[in-house]
Amino acid sequence: MIYFTADCHFNAQRTIDISKRPFNSLEELNITLINNWNSTVTKDDIVYILGDFGDLSYAQYLNGFKIFIKGNYERYHYSDEELKQYFDIVWPKDVMNVNIEHQGKIYNVNLTHEPLNIATKDMDESTVGLFGHVHKLCMIKKYGINVGTDLHYFKPIDFDTILFYHNAALHYYDDNVFY
């Protein structure tokens, strides 16, 4: 399975305060994130993390092969070499494009932390944009889907669910939803 997430902000009191996360303490936040992640992701799964991970030491407790794209926090505070100590792959640029085969179809998936960095401003049947950064301010834009943990029960989101939202954005939402 392939999963996506962003904005975990492990061990960050600021995120509890500013994002109004429903946790009474950092310990509760961290334990919930770890338990939710590991009850969803197996050791054999792939997880794309679209930045703002928080305390990097928590990566060791999480299942899956972890591919990391830097968010605004990591970009200014950690070198690639530091990040490589915690993640299986660290992408050196702000945007990553991957082709994912799913049920016989190839999808071009554009991954980035900030929504404005998405390469294409319109999704189509085979192009999917994924982002984080804005926490729970917006789940779907005309050009992408927010994979931030705040919007997805504080756990990574699977590609089937991504495609569900992708289909809805393409075929069921009118332009008024996006403006």
DSSP string, 24-45: SSHHHHHHHHHHHHHHH--TT-
Mean pLDDT of the chain: 91
8 and 53 in contact (C-beta within 8 Å)?
yes
CA dist 112 and 10 (Å) reads 19
How many alpha carbons fall within 13 Å on the CB side of residue 1?
A: 15
Whether 45 shows a pLDDT value over 90: the answer reads: yes
**Residue 146 to residue 136: CA distance in whole angstroms:** 8
* Residue 168's pLDDT band (cuts 50, 70, 90): confident
Beta strands in 26-148 (DSSP E): 46-49, 65-69, 89-91, 95-102, 105-112, 127-131, 140-141, 144-146
CA distance linking residue 25 with residue 48, whole number of Å: 26
Token representation of residue 116: 């404005």
Of 45-59, 91-105, 146-160, give the lowest mean pLDDT range.
91-105
Rounded Cα distance between 31 and 160, Å, is 26
Q: Is the pLDDT of residue 124 over 70?
A: yes
Record the tokens describing residue 25, joined without a space.
Answer: 């303490």
Give 167 or 125, the one with higher predicted confidence. 167
Instruction: Using pLDDT thresholds of 50, 70 and 90, give the confidence band for residue 68.
Output: very high
Check residue 122 and give its pLDDT. 65
- 142 CB contacts (<8 Å, ≥6 apart)? 121, 122, 123, 169, 175, 178
Say what the pLDDT of residue 67 is. Answer: 98
Rounded percentage of the chain residues whose pLDDT exceeds 70? 93
Predicted confidence band at 144 (pLDDT cuts at 50, 70, 90)?
Answer: confident
Using 50, 70 and 90 to split pLDDT, how confident is the model at 115? confident
Q: What are phi and psi of 24, to 5 degrees?
A: -85, -15
